[in-house]
Amino acid sequence: MRFPASILAACILMLPATFLRADAPATSDSGADTSVANPALSNPLSNPPGIVDRLMFFRTGEDWEAGELSRVAVREDGGGALHLDDERTRFPRRGRWTSPEVNTRIPFSELIPSYNARTPGESGLALHVRVRDEETGDWSPWLYIGQWGRTIHWPSRRIEFDHGKVNVDNLVLDRHADAFQMRVDMYDYNLPAPGEDAAPEDVPSLRLLAVNYSGVVEDEDKRRELGRGRPIAEGEWARDLPVPFIPQRQSGPEIGGSTCSPTSVTMAMAYRGVEIPLLENCLDIYDPEYGIFGNWARGVAQAGEHGLNSWLTRVRSWEEVKSYIAEGTPLIASIRFGEGEFPSNVMSSTSGHLILIRGMTEEGDLIVNDPASPSRGDGVVYVAEELANAWWGRGGVTYVIGADMPDWVPTYTDYAQGEAATAAGGR
């Protein structure tokens, strides 16, 4: 049996079989089977030479209105977020936002979305993505790439086509694409009391959609021109941020071996002043479609549901890590390593695990809250080179929880105006 895509299932190697399964079949929008039932159940991301990452946000009223709105609307009294706006008398109420076609700055072969939504009561949203082949100009079918809250659950979803596959929360292609388009469906199952109207605030809303796409750029001059996007912050990076430590086993004997992602999110949220019980976070983050706790986007979405600006990004240099730490931002890192590859780790190996980086030593090693070990995980120091191989070598996927919205990441409105619209451009 293989392990789930996003590092999730094997937080510490001995997991109940129910948390390793990913048996939701993939289908067309109509629900008819059209592709292989299972996604790839190992993290397929890596760190090839010349890889470039780009990050962009949809988060302003202008961004949402640049897309196609069907029974959804931007509410300024809701902070410019996108809200369900279905006045029909039907159950469930539903609406859809479809992004503009986004021409990417580089050809890409990997894409990871994340989002911050509010889904009060019995409401939720589902995400799909499609991409345009660089060589032929053909668009892929719409591919299902996750849900949050309560949504319509068809018996199965379409997650692959001839040139790519969704692996739970990320899309990997076997040939380059040069554009993408996102689609968000909102659902509301809340019913007002007899004789009362539905409260406008009790509908699902979306305030942030982040898209991180990556591709190899062979030309060194072009890579230099594209840059990393993130400016390096001035400040003290040799510091230890006061992030409380929580071992994942506190979530209980039934699930404690597989809850490294929600445990890391719980620590990061507590650091930001939002204290949610670990078990509550675990159950909210749990992905019922794949039977896992570690879906990357759902971890970020839980923090977003509680008001914290949070997104997925990819980190591939210590200068970036130093910059985040100097700003007071801990990072949740996705790692994987085999026997003998990470001697300073509290585990001998893992097929997928999440840790929280809370600081750096003056020598440049990392101060970590590792939820796998109750006795050694609080502030354990990991050798930088070993962690780089386990983290960047497996794609560098990173949760940023509760940070200020960065002005160096372009919104779609900036992005559509071209590279000159923002000083750094985006990653």
| Overall average pLDDT of the 258-274 stretch | 98
Give the pLDDT score at 79.
Answer: 81
pLDDT band for position 299 (cuts 50, 70, 90)? very high
Residues above pLDDT 90, as percent of the chain:
75
Portion of the chain with pLDDT greater than 70, in percent: 86
> Taking the alpha carbons of 361, 363, 369, 375 in that order, is the dihedral positive or negative?
negative
Q: How confident is the model at residue 276, as a pLDDT?
A: 98
Q: What is the pLDDT of residue 99?
A: 98
When pLDDT is averaged across residues 220-244 and rounded to a whole number, the result is 83
- Please determine, for residue 21, whether its predicted confidence score (pLDDT) is greater than 60: no
In the three-class reduction of DSSP (H, G, I as helix; E, B as strand; rest coil), residue 226 is classed as: helix
Q: How confident is the model over 28-84, as pLDDT tens digits? A: 333 333 343 466 556 889 899 999 999 999 999 999 999 999 999 999 877 899 999
Mean pLDDT for 298-314 is 98
Q: State the DSSP H helix or E strand holding residue 185, giving kind and residue range, or none if neither.
A: strand 171-188
Q: Give me the mean pLDDT over the 245-262 stretch.
A: 96
How would you list the strands of the sheet with 310-314, edge to edge?
A: 310-314, 397-401, 331-337, 350-360, 366-369, 378-382
- Lowest model confidence (mean pLDDT) among 139-148, 188-197, 238-247, 261-270: 188-197
Token look-up 């902070």 returns 79
Pairing of strands 72-75, 81-84: antiparallel
Closest CA to 356 of 273, 233, 240, 214: 240
Whole-number pLDDT of residue 194: 78
Peptide bond before residue 194 is cis, with ω within 30 degrees of 0 = no
Find the farthest-apart pair of alpha carbons in the chain and give their distance in angstroms, rounded. 67
* Lowest pLDDT segment from 25-34, 69-78, 209-218, 415-424: 25-34
3-state SS class at 331 = strand
Of the candidates 314, 259, 296, 297, the one whose C-alpha atom is nearest the C-alpha of residue 281 is 259
Indicate whether 414 pLDDT > 80.
Answer: yes
- Domains of the chain: residue spans and CATH: 44-226 (2.60.120), 248-401 (3.90.70.10)
In eight-state DSSP terms, residue 99 is: P
pLDDT per residue over 284-297, tens digit each?
999 999 999 999 99
CA distance 261 to 240: 21
Query: How many CB atoms are closer than 10 A to CB 250?
Result: 16
Q: Which two tokens stand for residue 326?
A: 């100097």
Instruction: Please give the pLDDT value at position 193.
Output: 77
Most confident of 197-201, 295-299, 407-411, 416-420: 295-299
User: How do residues 178-189 score in pLDDT, each as one tens digit?
Assistant: 999 999 999 999
pLDDT digits (tens, 9 = 90+) for 374-412: 999 999 999 999 999 999 999 999 999 999 999 889 999
